[in-house]
Amino acid sequence: MIVVLKKSASQSEIDHIIEKIEALGLTVHLSKGVERTIIGVIGDEAILRNQPLDILPGVEKVMPILKPYKLVSREFKPDNSVIDINGVKIGNNKIVVIAGPCSVESKESLIEIANAVKKAGARCLRGGAFKPRTSPYSFQGLGVEGLEYLNEARKETGLKVVTELMDPRDTEAVVKYADVIQIGARNIQNFKLLMEVGKQKKPVLLKRGLSTTIKELLMSAEYIMSQGNYNVIFCERGIRTFENSTRNTLDLSAIPVIKELSHLPVVVDPSHAVGRWKLVASMSKAAIAAGADGLLLEVHNNPEGALCDGGQSLLPAKFASLMDELRLIARAIGREI
């Protein structure tokens, strides 16, 4: 249920409405938009049926939210959400590029890559300290040591850090070093983990799973937001289909579909989607043209020696050239990088 307030509603009237709702044992989520302030009411709707909230001072109307994802929906928040990553804002007119190696391998290599992507125009640094791998014998990441290297790279370059959390037991360490907590494709329906990051104040980059429908993706975001963390960024990174010419099938239609259903920003990870560096540039351009709010790109200074996903990583020089091309496309659709 959503309670739409009048433009003239005073703060005391808003406080009174919230007090009435909470007295019924329901949860309140306040959304202040450009045109309207909306109060989202989460809980047993049967309780509300006999409660005439529409007669309270400051209330314009009371409406049901028809979607199963309440807080994620545009019904709850008609305006686009802009997520603030410690000064870097994503979801507005400026497209944010997040770049770096798939996994953190050494401090020297990471800082070299970080400086290169920063010079080319990236605003955030990606890098996995904890790596989910298909084989238990593959490189699993440096753990806390990798987080410390990410922190060193942030100090030197000023780039914001995006890194993955896999285990709730590592939450404290990741929260200490990350500016954005990434939830990977394999953990999209790890509901305990989603609720754990929902209790944090850090932005969350939520990656679509290999076989996850858009509705399931939105419901996973609802788990996070239901715990009070509204700073969620969706990431389309390709889904599993019958096609095997690429690592996954990049679903670019997900961008406008998600934006129609939700107020949250959407970024695209073409590197994991296609799995081949030669295809990354074209899919990056297509993602920007389709309305993506950002890109998540893998860049490595020695792809042949990379411990993880070297075949889909761009060399720094190729990344810099791609950034120049992306600026032209962004300008053509009235945006900037």
Residue ranges and CATH numbers for the domains of the chain are 2-63 (3.30.70.1140), 83-332 (3.20.20.70)
Q: How confident is the model at residue 137 (pLDDT cuts 50, 70, 90)?
A: low
pLDDT higher than 90, residue 275: yes
pLDDT at 133 over 70: no
Cα 30 to Cα 68, 83, 139, distances in angstroms: 18, 16, 44
Mean of pLDDT values over 316-337: 97
pLDDT in the model for residue 331: 97
Structure tokens belonging to residue 214: 């858009």
User: Residue ranges of the alpha helices (H) in 158-276?
Assistant: 171-177, 191-198, 214-226, 254-261, 270-274
Place of tokens 């005439």: 52
Measured CA to CA, the distance from residue 226 to residue 199 in angstroms comes to: 9
Question: What average pLDDT does range 60-75 have in this prediction?
Answer: 86
Comparing C-alpha atoms, which of 233, 222, 212 is closest to residue 126?
Answer: 233
CA distances from 100 to 114, 186, 187, 272 (A): 7, 20, 21, 13
- The stretch 145-164 carries a mean pLDDT of 96
**Measured between alpha carbons, how far is 93 from 53 in angstroms, rounded to an integer?**
37
Instruction: Give the distance from CA 180 to its chain's centroid.
Output: 8
* Cβ atoms of 195 and 227 closer than 8 Å: yes
pLDDT at 22 over 70: yes
300: its two tokens: 């490595």
pLDDT tens, position by position, 164-185: 999 999 999 999 999 999 999 9
pLDDT at 63: 79
